[in-house]
Amino acid sequence: MSDTTRFLLNETDLPRQWYNILADSPVPLPPVLHPVTKEPVTPDFLSVLFPMELILQEVSTDRYIDIPEEVREIYKLYRPTPLVRARRLEKMLGTPAHIYYKNESVSPVGSHKANTAIPQAFYNKVAGTKAITTETGAGQWGAALSMACNFFDIALEVYMVKVSYEQKPYRRIFMETYGAQVYASPTDRTQFGRALLEQDPSNRGSLGIAISEAVEAAATSGGSKKYSLGSVLNHVLLHQTVIGEEALKQMDMAGEYPDVVIGCVGGGSNFGGIALPFLRENLRNGQRTRLLAVEPTAAPSLTKGIYTYDYGDTARMAPIVKMHTLGHTFLPPGIHAGGLRYHGMAPLISALYEAGYLEARAVPQVATFEAARLFTQAEGFLPAPESAHAIRAAIDEALDAKAKGEKRVILFNLSGHGHFDMMAYQEYLAGRLEDYAYPAEAVAQAMQSLPQVETEVTAAD
């Protein structure tokens, strides 16, 4: 075991391939269905939204997919990212556990989202795309895609969930600095947005609504725009595996191997990015690392959601997928972890969780910010509210190890910094944040609006 605190790789250690868990997964993914016909989607349908190379990655079962050199060159702006031993936090907790974190906040946009924004923009550029539409919750994804589109000279429209648009104005300005056009969703720019505003002019939005607007803007553009998504889809999780591949090398440098790997989870991208390479080691090489996804009690898609077919967006324009869902009609409370307010979970993460290969835990908002403050005071980095969920679970694991008098090696993903989340911290420090547990009754009610999928399609899972 090393006495080093920071474990740094060189540019030559930057992964040359993304890892595709579908090559090794013992769990087959159910088919993705057309939102109208409810038949399996075709490449022609998906090509309205995505360039063909991303569609091929979405369905690929190749174990490794080469990272284009043009993408690797931009990755080198910030990758490989540091692995850090949180020694000061360990001392503060008085725990025998060893805590490590992968610091994805060092990217130019301050989060892991750049890992997929860059290749998505690249493949769109190669396909001749001139403009992209997307949604964003907390703004981390919108900022990352704004940077990537700027690098590849592609215009970008961002539909930002209205509550986050209001809470995080500096992220909007960040996106606009790269050249993106940012709109508070729901807007009057789309048919769906106008309909919602007619029903409720004060609608604060949701990620499902913002997705609907971005999908509508692309689908009705006559082919002049494509759509890009920052989480949930297989190709997004694929791109994020650079996190876990680097972490494996760095844990080897540290002379330890994690007993538990932790990531916050909303749509599944950063958790999948760090966890899936370790799942490969479990499946192929006999390791027994626990893989723990941590979500807010206010949006508990894994811990309270139902594993079933549902629409990916509120307007029912996106494909129907089988996932853990709170229902596409889900309207979340205005919690400050805006990036975790999605109604569903990545189908890949959902299937693996349902089969018992992953664990999940929901944590309340106030305790999450308490963990974030403790981490900041010990380690100096101010985490994003989303990342703070992983920190809460890591601290709980360390305290459990302390209570049991056992050594435990804990690795979590610090998926982003909180520099643009100061309103959230202000509310916490003033004692104005409240916990909210999404009621099971609301989930049950939302299940009444699920798409009617033929039994034989579901049974073919």
- Residue-level pLDDT at 393: 98
Residue type, 91: K
| CA–CA distance, 74 with 122 (Å, rounded to integer) | 10
- Residue-level pLDDT at 314: 84
Which residue in the block uniquely carries the two structure tokens 């309909």? 195
- Residue-level pLDDT at 86: 98
**Other CB atoms within 10 A of residue 277 CB:** 23
Contact between 32 and 208 (Cβ < 8 Å): no
- Residue-level pLDDT at 112: 97
Blockwise average pLDDT, block size 10, the chain, 461 residues? 88 97 95 93 91 96 98 98 98 98 97 98 98 92 97 97 88 96 96 95 88 94 94 96 98 98 96 98 98 96 96 87 93 69 92 98 97 98 96 98 97 96 92 91 91 62 42
Which residue in the block uniquely carries the two structure tokens 């538990």? 260
CA 233 to chain CA centroid, nearest Å:
10
| CA–CA distance, 424 with 45 (Å, rounded to integer) | 40
Strand partners, 132: 156, 226
What residue segments make up the domains of the chain, in order of their start? 6-15+78-110+235-453, 22-40+48-64+114-233
| CA–CA distance, 290 with 396 (Å, rounded to integer) | 14
Could you tell me which of 229, 237, 224, 189 has the C-alpha nearest to residue 208?
229
Could you tell me which of 191, 346, 193, 331 has the C-alpha nearest to residue 268?
346
Q: What is the CATH number of domain 22-40+48-64+114-233?
A: 3.40.50.1100
Report residue 253 as tokens: 């440098």
- Residue-level pLDDT at 317: 85
Q: What is the CATH number of domain 6-15+78-110+235-453?
A: 3.40.50.1100
Relative to beta strand 6-7, strand 83-85 is antiparallel
